[in-house]
Structure 1
Amino acid sequence: MGKDFSSALRPAIVMTILFAALLGLAYPLAMTGIGQTLFPAQANGSLIRDAGGKIVGSTVVGQAFVADRYFQTRPSAAGKGYDGLASSGSNLGPTAQALVDRVTPDVARRRGEGVTGSLPADLVTASGSGLDPDLSPAAALAQSGRIARVRGLPVERVRGLVTANTGTSLLGDPHVNVLALNRALDAAAPAR
């Protein structure tokens, strides 16, 4: 009986060590090497750097822009705002009073900025992850009047920047990366 147990234990220990080394070390190192070789920018966070090499953000994680001279992103449900460690949605349904209470001040603020007509939903609601870096073109265009007024630009020029920075996603939905748009805005017309 004891001999059967010890003869069965040895292969189990050997296989555990083998698979721990293979799946815990070799595979992750191989995937990291492939990622760094074939997709180095994406593997390192899709970071955006300024002319001096300083990191100013990422194309895949949103950040809060609060100054009136910038396009503002959608509200974040991630902690205290765009906190990657607290990424999650609010899970509030369309009939939840908590959602109404959270959205009402944002609607009032957008109306105070001069946005008229129907508000694009992404101006007042958070994304599923709370870290969305993009807006719909309608949400960016709705902010064009405020940007033009604060920067002293013709609204057509600001709208042209939105159009120039509109891309499509894998599924074909148009979107505007807010960080890229704000960088283009600063390049075209530095803030006063």
Structure 2
Amino acid sequence: MKQDFIISSWLFILMVIVITFYSLIIYTVGHKLWPSEAKGNLIHDKNGMVRGSFLLGQSYTSERYFHGRPQLIFKDQCNVALYNEEFWNKLLLPTVKNQSIGSDIIMSVPSNSMLDPYITKNEAMNQAPKIAIARKLPLQTLKNIINTYNIKALTPFFVLDIVNVTILNSKLDNY
């Protein structure tokens, strides 16, 4: 019994040391090879102030910006399944009615996390003419930005070309 306790204690100490070194190695390698990602993909302005993160969708109301998926929050007791009447009446029907022709249906449904910064490339292209007019920019400039930051479809992870709205908008504001 005493021998089992000693062996267990040594194994515990050994595992704590191994896990500690493993964690330090992963931390160091991550910060050396991918410093921006390891620090949270932060958005910095020209003065070096943090303005947000590329990993989180922002709420934009101006016509000067690309808009992400809806960020609506439902009551806890509300079931937001697609067959739920309250869900359809409060979110989907008004959104679908107000959608411009050619918009993706995905723009009618909020993301699961409510903070998803990604939309389809097609939807970004649909929004580009309004933004070009609002910012007095050539439409081709916006299309070039969209194409530059386009993430190609990568089956099985996602099957459509997508873009990060937060990245597009930060590039428009020169962050």
Tell me, yes or no, whether TM beats 0.5.
yes
Q: Which moved more, 1:93-102 or 1:131-140?
A: 93-102
* TM-score, length-scaled by structure 2: 0.74
- Higher Cα radius of gyration: 1
**1:73 touches 1:135 (CA, 8 Å); kept in 2?**
yes
- What is the TM-score of this pair, normalised by structure 1? 0.69
Aligned to 1:130: 114
In the alignment, which residue of structure 1 is the partner of 2:170?
183
Which of the pair has the greater relative contact order for Cα pairs under 8 Å at 6+ separation? 2
Could you tell me which of 13, 20, 34 is aligned with 2:16? 20
The residue type equivalent to 1:42 in the other structure is E
Aligned residues: 167
Return the match for 1:76 from 71, 80, 88. Answer: 71
Unmatched runs of 5 consecutive residues or more in structure 1: 81-89, 188-192
Instruction: Give the fraction of aligned pairs with identical amino acids, expressed as a percent.
Output: 27
- Secondary structure of the residue aligned to 1:42 is helix
Amino acid at match of 1:99: F
State how far apart, in whole Å, the 1-side matches of 2:140 and 2:16 are.
Answer: 60
One-letter amino acid of the structure 1 residue matched with residue 81 of structure 2 = G
Out of 2, 7, 10, which is 1:6 matched to? 2
Q: 1:33 to 1:186 in 2, by over 3 A?
A: closer
- Compared CA separation, residues 6 and 123, structure 1 to 2 (3 A): same
- 2-structure distance, mates of 1:69, 1:22: 52
122-131 or 6-15: which moved more?
Answer: 122-131
Greater displacement, 176-185 / 97-106? 97-106
Aligned mates of 2:34, 2:61 — CA distance in 1: 32
User: Residue 151 in 1 paired to residue 161 in 2?
Assistant: no
Give me the CA root mean square deviation. Answer: 3.1
